[in-house]
Every structure is written in structure tokens, then in C-alpha cells.
Structure 1
Amino acid sequence: MLTIGLLREGKVPADNRVALTPAQGKWIQKNAPGVRVLAQSSPDRCYTDREYTSAGVEVTDDLSNCDVLLGIKEVTPDALIAGKTYLFFSHTKKEQPYNQRMFRTILDKKITLIDYECLEHDDGQRILGFGFFAGVVGAHNGIMAYGKRTGLYQLGRVHQQQSLRELIHTYFGLRLPEIKVAVTGSGRVAHGVLEVMNLLEIVEVEPDEFLERNFSYPVFTQLKGAALYGRIKDGGYQREDFHQRPQDYRCKFLPYTLTADILMNGIYWDRDMPRLFEWEDLARPEFRIATIADITDDREGSVPCNLGDTPISDPVYGVDKTTRLRTGPYLPGSIDMMAVGNLPNELPRDASRYFGEQLIKHVLDPLVRGGSPIIERATMVREGRADDAV
């Protein structure tokens, strides 16, 4: 018997997403012989304890008898149980300093850590993630913020809706002005952004049209790959080469800062990658972008004026273009930043349902059978030894 436990999220503020919904827990217990699912009692989940109990999933405070423990965000060091196998987003892949204590505790307690972020197909495509819903919520918030800055239209908050379906209904009858939106990236985040662009009837145009023309209706352009980066020596672009040697490339985004009103940033960024623009560019009078939705949310990363996370309750702050200091939003001389670190929490049920479907489809069977190449590659720590992980 393999017992899977669904962890109560311990970070503050609490994350309300889940790895498996009640219906998915019920399905596993019915269709995967020898697998049992328990849910740790939680007052914060988007699905209540009663919903799990009604689905036949036992709710308990004690998960010490579980073999595999599934969470979403990092587990606090004091809550880690020795000798267990954990799956969650550890945020240690980039050696983030704020999670070093947790990682050391994992080693000391001889825990096996499988990181969702590292679960990939053979071609490197990530299997699990909430990127699509981050893109949906981030794009909505970016459009909302621009409306608040200009006073030209009004959009409500995503978290006030119960589902994506309800959110879509709030778009009916909304007429946007002649805004120009630059979208960066090509992954799940960008797909979520494009979904909102289409729902809001913002028309896609080619990058050169975006730079050269004015339009009588709202438009966006998507920038990725060769449209966004080029080798310094010859202007060429090759995806694998870029990811192996990003320092050999320059970013082509700067002209779009002169023509776009809103930036929806959905690119993966690492410290050796060129930024979209620099502080000096932001301070120039011709810099036109007024609102940035930094959906991938790397502090001082591809967008230098990302000065840190904002909470769902207050998602937008300003950055003074001259002093580079954080201010209130929507002020003259500032640019508005939307940099929420847990955007999918605004649509937690939809996001959790999708995540659980992918978990069941691609990860459950290898876990039950005791491993697979996919699981091996995502194992960051094996029984307390990081050097034994593949």
C-alpha cells in the first residue's frame, strides 16, 4: 500500500492551491489499486476538509504514516518529517538563499526531494506548473492597472470571481481604448496572457507593425526567440546556444519601450541573461511603457524595476523613474509594477484542477512503480544526499 498525503501549506501568507482536488483523490483511490490518499486538515485550502471527506479522502492532522507527501510551496523546516519523500516547488534550483535552511534540514533529515519544477519530458519541456493561470491572472491585473492609471475603463479583481468561467463573464461589454501591449515569452505563462488578450479582443499584430504603426483599436505583439534576442557578433539566434551562452546575446526589446503602453513579461530569466531594458532607459523621456505586469516575477531580473513581490490584496506599486525608489501606484513620474508571486491563487480551484490532472497523467504511475527517468531527473535530494540525485 502506497499512502499519499496532501500537505497543509505552511508558508505565510498561506497558499490555497492543492496538488490533488477531492475528486482527483477519489479517482486515484478507485483506479489505482494499492494507493491511498490522505489530506492534512487545513483552514486555508480552496477545497474544504468537508469536500475531501465527502469524496472519501480521509482528513487528518498526522501524515507521519504517509510514504509520499505532496505540497505546493516550500515546506517550513520544522514541519519536515524525517525519511519521507516530498514533492513540491522547492525554489532551490537557482540556489535561492532564502531556502537554504529548508534545504539543509532536508539533508539532515534524510529526506528525498522531488521538485515539480524539474519534472521534464525528454526534450526539456516542463510537465507540471501553474504558468497558464499565472499568465491569465497577471495579464488581467496588468490591464486592470493601466485602467486605474488612466481612468479610461474599469476592471474588477480576479479573486472576487469563483472561476475562470465567471471571470470571462466580467469581460462582456468592456471596450478598451487604443492601447498597445507587448507580450514577452512563449511558454505556459505567455499562453495564459494570450488567452486574456483574445478574450478582451485585443488584436495581435506583427512586431514590425507594432513598432511602425498606430492603430484605432487595442493591439498586442508577442516577442520570443529571434524576435527578442540576437547574438552580439552576428545577430543570429539559436535556442540551445542562447540557453547555454546567454551572455553572448543582446536583447532587442528596447524599441518596444518607445511604442508600448503595457508590458506583459512572461520570459524565463537567469542572472546571465540580458535584461529587457536598464534603469537608464527607464529614465528617458521617450520611455512610453506605463504599466508592467512582471508575471514571471524575478526581483531585479529581466525587468530591473521589479523591487519585490506584492500581495494579492494590493498587487500594484509604483517605481519612481528617477530615484528608483518604490512609491504608491499611479503617480506622475512613476511606472506601475504588478509583481505578485502567487498569481494562480486568484483562481485556485481552476489552477489546482489542472495541476492535479497533469500530476495523475504523468507522475502518479512512476511514483507507484518506484521511479522513472522523469522522476530521477527531478530528484534533487535522495535520502539526504544531494550528490546521489540525478
Structure 2
Amino acid sequence: MITIGLLREGKVPADNRVALTPAQCKWIQKNASDVRVIAQASPDRCYSDKEYRDAGIEVKETMEECDILLGIKEVPVRQLLPGKTYLFFSHTKKAQPANQAMFRTILDRGITLIDYECLEHDDGQRILGFGFFAGVVGAHNGIMAYGQRTGLYELGRVYKQKSFRELIHTYFGLRLPEIKVAVTGSGRVAHGVLEVMNLLEIVEVEPDEFLERKFSYPVFTQLKGAGLYVHAQTKSYKREHFHQHPQEYRCKFLPFARTADILMNGIYWDPNMPRLFEWEDMQDPGFRIRTIADITDDREGSIPCNLGDSTMDAPVYGVDPNTRQRTAPYQPGGVDVMAVGNLPNELPRDASRYFGEQLIKHVLEPLIRGGSVIIDRATMVKNGELTPHYSYLEEYARPL
């Protein structure tokens, strides 16, 4: 018998998403007689303890009897149980300093860490993620913020709706002005953004039309790959080469910053990649963007004026392009930034259900039956030892 535990989120503020819904836990126990699921008692989950109990799932305070522990965000050091197998978003594969103590504790306590972010198909496509719903919420918040800035329309908050379906109903009858929206990226986040663009009846146009034409209705254009980057010498773009040598490329976004009202940013970024624009560009009178939804949310990353996370309660802050300081939102001459790190928390039940479906479909069986190539590639630490694939983290993992 293998016992799977659903962890109570310990990071503050607590995340309200879950890896498996009550219905999914019930399905697992019905279809795998040698698997038992326990939910750790939690006051914060989007699914209540009662809903798990009603589905026939035990709810307990402690998780010591579990073999595999499923969480969402980083597990606090004091809560890490020795010798267990953990799956969660550890945010350590880039050697993030904030999580170094946690990573070292995982090694010290003989834990096995499988990171959701590292679960990939053979072609590098990520298997698990909340990106689609991050895109939905981020796009909504971006459009909402522009309405707040201009006073031309009003959109309510996502979290006040019980589901994505109910959110869609709030769009009926909404008339948007002649806004131009630039969308960057092509992954799950971008797919979520495009869903909202379509639901709001914002019309897609080609990039060259977006730059050259005026429209009497709201429009957006999507920029990705060759539309965003070009090799500095060869003037070409090859995806694989770009990801291997991003420092050799320059970004072509700036003309869109002079044409767009709103930027929805959904691109992956690492420090070697060129930014979409720089602070100096924002000081140019021709810089038109006044609302930025930085959905992928890298502080001082592809969006230089991302000065750190905002919160679900107050998702938008202002930035003064001249002083480079954070201000109140919606100030004359300022740029508004939406940079929330846990956007799917505003649609937690939908996001959790989708995540759990992918977990069951692609990960659960090899996880409980002894592993697979996919599981092995995502295992950062095995029984307290750094695995070969993550040997580049040796310095990060070394005890102080």
C-alpha cells in the first residue's frame, strides 16, 4: 500500500490551490486499490476538509505515515519530514537564494524532491503547470487596471466569482474602447491571455497592421519567437539556437511599446535574454504603454519596471519612469504594473482541477509504480543526494 498525502500549504500567505481535488482523490482510491490518499487538515484550501471527507478521503493533522507528499508552493524548512518523497514547485532549479536553506535541508534529511516545473515531455514541453489560469487572471487584471486608469469602463475582481464559467458571464455587455493590446509569448500563459482576449471580443490583428493602422474597435496582436527576437549578426531567428545563446539576440519589441496601450507579458525569461525594453525607453515621450500585466512575473526581468510582487488584494502598483520608484497606481505620467506571483489563486478550483487531471494522466502511475524517464529527469534530489542532471547546483547545495 502506497500512501499519498496532500500537504497543507505552509508558505505565508498560504496558497489555496491543491494538487488533487476531492473527486480526483476518490477516483484514485477507486481505481488503484493499493493507493490510499490522506489530506492534511487545512483552513485555507479552495476545497474544504469536509469536501474531502465527503469524498471518502481521510483528513489528518500529521503526514508521517505518508510515502509521497504533494504540495503546491515551497515547504517551510520546519515542516520537511525526513526520508519522504515530495512533489511541489521548489523554485530552486535556477539556484534561487530565497530557497537555498530549504534545498539544503532537503539534502540533509534524506528527502527525494521531484519538482513539478521539471516534469517535461521528451521535447521539453512542460507537463504540469497553472499557466493557463495565470494567463486568464493576468489578462483580466490588465484590462481591469486600464479601465481603472482611464475611467472608461469597469471590471470587477476575478476572485469574487466562484468559477471561470461565472467570470465569463461578467463580460457580457461590456463595451471596451479602441485599445491596442500587445501579447507576448506562446505557452500556457499566452493561451490563457488569448482566451480572455476572445471572450472580451478584442480582435486579433497582424503585427504590421497593429503598428501601422488605427482601429475603431479594440485589437490585440501576439508576438512570439521570430516576431520578438532577431540574431544581432545574421538577422535570423532559430528557436533552438536562441534558447542556447540568447545573449546573441536583440529584442524587436520597442516599436510596439510606441503603439500599444496595454502589454500582456507571457514570455519565459532568463538573465541572458534581452529585455523587451529598458528604463531609458520608458522615458521617451513616444512610449505609449500605460498598463503592464507581467504575468510571468520576473522581478527586473523582461519587464525592467517590475519592482517586485504585488498581492491578490492590491494587484496593481504604479512606477515612475524617471525616478524608477514604486508609486500609487494610476498616476499621470506613471506606468501601472500588475505583477502577482500566485494569479491562479483567484480561480483556485478550476486551476486545481486542471492541474490534478494532468497529474493523474501523465505522472501518477509512474510515480507510484517505481519511476520513469520523465520522473527521473524531474528528480532534483534522491534520498538526500543531488542527482546528476542537477549537478550544476553543487555549490548551491553545499552546507554553509
Coarse TM-score class (shorter-chain normalised): over 0.9
Q: Which residue of 2 aligns with 1:337?
A: 337
Q: What's the TM-score, normalizing by structure 2?
A: 0.97
Segments of structure 2 that go 5 or more residues without pairing to the other structure are 391-400
1:32 offset after TM fit, Å? 1.3
Separation in 2, partners of 1:386, 1:61: 30
**Aligned match of 1:203:** 203
Q: Distance in 2 between matches of 1:387 and 1:341?
A: 28
1:321 offset after TM fit, Å? Answer: 1.0
Contact 1:205 1:219 in 2 (8 A): yes
Match of residue 393 from structure 2: none
The alpha carbon displacement at 1:369 in A equals: 0.8
2: distance between equivalents of 1:389 and 1:234? 33
Give 2:291's aligned amino acid. T
1:346 aligns with 2:351: no
Q: Report the alpha carbon displacement of residue 389 of structure 1 after superposing the two structures with TM.
A: 5.6
Partner of 1:15: 15
Secondary structure of the residue aligned to 1:197 is helix
Give the number of equivalent residue pairs.
390
Residue 110 in structure 1 maps to residue 110 in structure 2: yes
Question: Paired residue for 1:54?
Answer: 54
The superposition leaves residues 222-245 of structure 1 with CA deviations (integer Å, 9 ceiling, x where unpaired) of 000100000000210011000000
Q: Is the Cα contact below 8 Å between 2:15 and 2:345 reproduced in 1?
A: yes
1:275-286 correspondence to structure 2 within 5 Å = 275-286=275-286
* Residue of structure 1 in register with 2:356 after alignment: 356
Equivalences for residues 205-220 of structure 1 within 5 A: 205-220=205-220
SS at match of 1:272: coil
Query: 1:327 matched to which residue of 2?
Result: 327
Please give the residue correspondences for 1:39-188 in structure 2 after superposition, counting only pairs within 5 Å: 39-188=39-188
Alignment-derived partner of residue 241 in structure 2: 241
CA distance in 1, matches of 2:328, 2:129: 32
* Amino acid in structure 1 at the alignment position of 2:327: T
Counterpart CA distance in 2 for 1:37 and 1:388 is: 31
- Give the letter aligned to residue 202 of structure 1: I
1:268-324 per-position Cα deviation (integer Å, ceiling 9, x unaligned): 000000000000001111100000000000000000000000110000000001000
Matched ranges for 1:265-304 at <5 A: 265-304=265-304
Provide Cα deviations, 1:334-381, integer angstroms capped at 9, x if missing partner: 100000000000000000000000000000100111100000000000
The equivalent of 1:258 in structure 2 is 258
The 1-side partners of 2:7 and 2:387 are apart by 26
Q: What is the rounded CA distance, in whole Å, between the counterparts of 2:333 and 2:257 in structure 1? A: 16
Output the CA distance in 2 between the equivalents of 1:388 and 1:219.
48
Q: CA deviation at 1:33?
A: 2.3
Please tell me whether the aligned partners of residues 381 and 389 of structure 1 are also in contact (alpha carbons under 8 angstroms). no
Give the Cα separation in 1 of the matches to 2:56 and 2:217.
Answer: 52
Output the CA distance in 1 between the equivalents of 2:376 and 2:238: 28
The 1-side partners of 2:32 and 2:118 are apart by: 25
* Displacement after TM superposition at 1:387 (Å): 3.7
Q: Name the aligned partner's letter for residue 216 of structure 2.
A: S
Indicate conservation of the 8 Å contact 1:182/1:223, yes or no.
Answer: yes
SS in 1 for 2:4: strand
Across the aligned residues of Structure 1 and Structure 2, the Cα RMSD in angstroms comes to 0.7
> 1:294, 1:114 → 2: CA distance?
27
Return the offset for 1:388: 4.8
- Contact 2:379–2:387 (Cα < 8 Å) also in 1: no
Q: What amino acid sits opposite 2:278 in the alignment?
A: E
Kindly provide the amino acid, as one letter, of the partner of residue 70 in structure 1.
L
Secondary structure at the aligned position of 1:337 is classed as strand
